[in-house]
Amino acid sequence: MKNKSKDNFLIDDLKTGESWRLFKIIGEFVEGVDALNNIGPAVSIFGSARTKPDTPYYKKAEQIALFFAKKGYGVITGGGGGIMEAANKGASKGRGISVGLNINLPFEQTPNKYTDIKLEFKYFFIRKVMFIKYALAYIIMPGGFGTMDEFFEAITLIQTKKIKPLPVILVDTNYWSGLIKWMKTQLIQDNMICPGDLDIIHVLDKPEDIVETVINYTHPKMACKK
């Protein structure tokens, strides 16, 4: 039986004599830059596509995005369901710019209806550039491998000074406490990271505190106004 998933192994297709595929990659970069270059201040919000609308995580993501939109920030998500849908929905309710960077996957990823700007990507690495290039902060809701991939990508780029520092906020202390504890005990104990590297990460619960942390970081004068 033919393995249909082989059609999704796009990087494996970059072989000698197939350099024409690089034009497709360049095309995705150009499309992304053209679409997002003027969106203004924005935050990227990540989380599980499997989160249901009646769950606390969904509702909190929607509320966080709503608060950001009301403060003049756009919201960028992966464009799919679950947390992504919730964040785009909240941004739309707050009359903020709502961006969905969808990725073609064989499962789970169906575009949601709450985006003003909707882009389709074949390549994860191009999509990641768009997330980081146009975000003033990363808001990480509970999620799985994809969510943690975005989280570790951001803190690695900040740690290695490949991008300017930006707030990376893990939402929900209970969900992320095990990971943070492991970092503090295992990674620092074995000298895999420096203790100061953990200063990159914020762990917060309240939507108000999350928005205020980003404002304090990106627009400190604005945060002082009463």
**Residue 186: how many other CB atoms lie within 10 Å:** 11
User: Where does residue 28 fall: left (phi above 0), alpha (psi -120 to 50 degrees), or beta otherwise?
Assistant: alpha
Of 10, 45, 41, nearest to 28 by C-alpha is 10
Domain at 170, CATH number: 3.40.50.450
70 occurs within a structural domain: yes
Indicate the pLDDT class of residue 141, thresholds 50, 70 and 90. Answer: very high
Rounded CA-CA distance 96/108 in Å is: 26
Domain of residue 210: give its range: 23-29+37-220
Rounded CA-CA distance 66/72 in Å is: 10
- How would you class 21 by CB atoms within 10 Å of its CB: exposed for 0-12, middle for 13-18, buried for 19 or more? middle
Q: pLDDT of 53-85, one tens digit each?
A: 999 999 999 999 999 999 999 999 999 999 999
User: Does the pLDDT value for residue 225 go beyond 50?
Assistant: no
User: Does the pLDDT value for residue 18 go beyond 90?
Assistant: no
Q: pLDDT of 193-219, one tens digit each?
A: 999 999 999 999 999 999 999 999 987
Find all residues with CB under 8 Å of 84, minimum gap 6, and list them: 45, 46, 47, 49, 77, 78, 100, 112
Q: Tokens for 215, please give them.
A: 């404002």
128 occurs within a structural domain: yes
> Average of pLDDT values for 170-182?
97
Share of the chain above pLDDT 90, in %: 81
Q: CA separation (Å) from 58 to 42, 50, 82, 83, 140?
A: 20, 10, 7, 5, 13
Rounded CA-CA distance 121/50 in Å is: 20
7 occurs within a structural domain: no
CB 42 within 8 A of CB 77: no
Indicate the pLDDT class of residue 162, thresholds 50, 70 and 90. Answer: very high
Rounded CA-CA distance 117/136 in Å is: 18
Share of the chain above pLDDT 70, in %: 87
Per the DSSP assignment, residues forming a β-bridge with 203 are: 170
User: Does the pLDDT value for residue 148 go beyond 50?
Assistant: yes
Total domains, the chain: 1
51 occurs within a structural domain: yes
Rounded CA-CA distance 35/2 in Å is: 37
Rounded CA-CA distance 52/59 in Å is: 9
Average of per-residue pLDDT values in the chain: 90
User: Does the pLDDT value for residue 224 go beyond 90?
Assistant: no
Q: pLDDT of 97-121, one tens digit each?
A: 999 999 887 765 688 999 999 999 9
- Structure confidence at residue 21 (pLDDT): 79
18 occurs within a structural domain: no
